[in-house]
Structure 1
Amino acid sequence: MLWGGNLGALELRAEGGATRLLAVFPYGAETELAPGRREVIASRAFADRIEAGGEIHLLLQHDYAKPLASTAAGSLSVRDTEAGLEIRADLDSGTSWAADFLAAHRAGLVRGLSPGFRVSAGGERIERRGNDTLRTITGASLFELSAVTRPAYPSAQIEARAWETCTRAHNTHQDRQPVRGAVHPFNRWRA
């Protein structure tokens, strides 16, 4: 699984019980992952799995033991557009890690958004630009998005607002992390 992230503005507003997180992970934003190694995620690179209705999680720090929301539970929606991924999550601060995330966000410590994905066969383009290498992700399976402390990309926008509490049945699905395969050496530090 590979991770890339965007640093954005997280905003929390208290207006009742549940907290709604809104975020955008923009496509086409080139970033330097390491000296001389750049990456960009092409428009609609994650479309296949999203449109197929695959389960996607919102996690804290890429940790499947700290889920904040999921599409299967009905607490996360992911919309794929030409400009980027738009997510909306209803967070329940009843778990210790969700409460920790909200407190860390208020303190300015967790401000980034980072997708966890697996590049599909033929889903990348590598090109040389002088001494630099640019990797363009054109097709990948998105498994999760995470609120992170230190993201790789600089331009996501995340906003969290408290909304009126609503009740919903608890989901009993067990969170499972996708099987990790071989890691492309270009992204070794992110695996």
Structure 2
Amino acid sequence: MLWAGSKGGLEVRTSAGGATVLRGRFPYAVPTVLKDGRERLREVFEARAFAASVAAGGDIHLLVHHDFDRPLASRGAGSLEISDGDDALTFEATIAPEMRGVSYVADFLGTLSAGLVGGISPGFRVAEGGALVKRDSEGLLRVVRSAELIEISAVTKPAYPQAQIEARNWTPCTAAEDRTLVHALNRWRL
């Protein structure tokens, strides 16, 4: 499982009925440095990298810090809308007023209000052939052409300002790994 995020890409509003609406975007074509030094690692997402999984209409969740035990919204529940465009992956999530009484939701909204959480971080898998890794004068560059979107998370510390990458696996997933969400526990951290 791979993770990405965007600091400052999260907009929060509360409706008259008490629901909290979160909007966010993960911009494309924004290269980032994942690791500097002798062997510099960079990454960039091509436009519509998540198009296939967004169009498939499967259930995708909005989570707190990539934790499936702390969901905020989901497509299956009708509380998460996701679109994939030429410039960014965007979402709008509605957190029902009843969720405010759930301890982790109250904690999340409190840290969000205090400015401690502000990053957007999609969890995804890159299948074989979905990315190209090439070497240039600046080191290695991974170009993600297509990826399966599993979830989107609000995170405390995204790795870079516009399209933050928290962790990366620089080898494609095998077909068996693609069928399980347990793979999230095996991610490689830089």
So what's the TM-score if we normalise by structure 1? 0.80
- Aligned match of 2:30: 29
- Aligned match of 1:162: none
Distance 1:12 1:30, change over 3 A: same
CA offsets 1:26-81 (integer angstroms, 9 cap, x no match): 11111111111111111111111110111110000000000000000000010111
Q: Output aligned runs, 1:27-106, within 5 Å.
A: 27-35=28-36, 36-92=40-96, 93-106=100-113
- Aligned match of 2:4: 4
Q: 2:59–2:75: 8 Å Cα contact kept in structure 1?
A: yes
- Aligned match of 1:163: none
More helix by share: 2
Whole-Å Cα distance in 1 between the matches of residues 5 and 122 of structure 2? 6
CA offsets 1:99-144 (integer angstroms, 9 cap, x no match): 1111101111001000100002200011112252111111110000
Distance 1:54 1:10, change over 3 A: closer
Instruction: Report how far residue 152 of structure 1 moved.
Output: 2.4
Asked whether 1:178 is paired with 2:177, we answer no
Provide the secondary structure at the position in 2 that maps to 1:29. Answer: coil
Aligned partner letter, 1:102:
L
Structure 1: 5+ residue runs without aligned partners? 157-176
Q: Output aligned runs, 1:13-24, within 5 Å.
A: 13-16=13-16, 17-24=18-25
- Aligned match of 1:124: 131
Distance 1:131 1:13, change over 3 A: closer
Whole-Å Cα distance in 1 between the matches of residues 91 and 146 of structure 2? 19
Structure 2: 5+ residue runs without aligned partners? 164-179
Q: 2:72–2:105: 8 Å Cα contact kept in structure 1?
A: yes
- Specify which structure has the bigger relative contact order, considering alpha-carbon pairs within 8 angstroms and separated by 6 or more residues: 1
Deviates further, 7-16 or 45-54 = 7-16
Instruction: Report how far residue 13 of structure 1 moved.
Output: 4.2
Instruction: Report how far residue 91 of structure 1 moved.
Output: 1.1
So what's the TM-score if we normalise by structure 2? 0.81
Q: What is the percentage of aligned positions where both structures have the same residue?
A: 47
Aligned alpha-carbon RMSD (Å): 2.0
Instruction: After the TM superposition, list the runs of 4 or more consecutive aligned residues in structure 1 that deviate by more than 6 angstroms.
Output: none
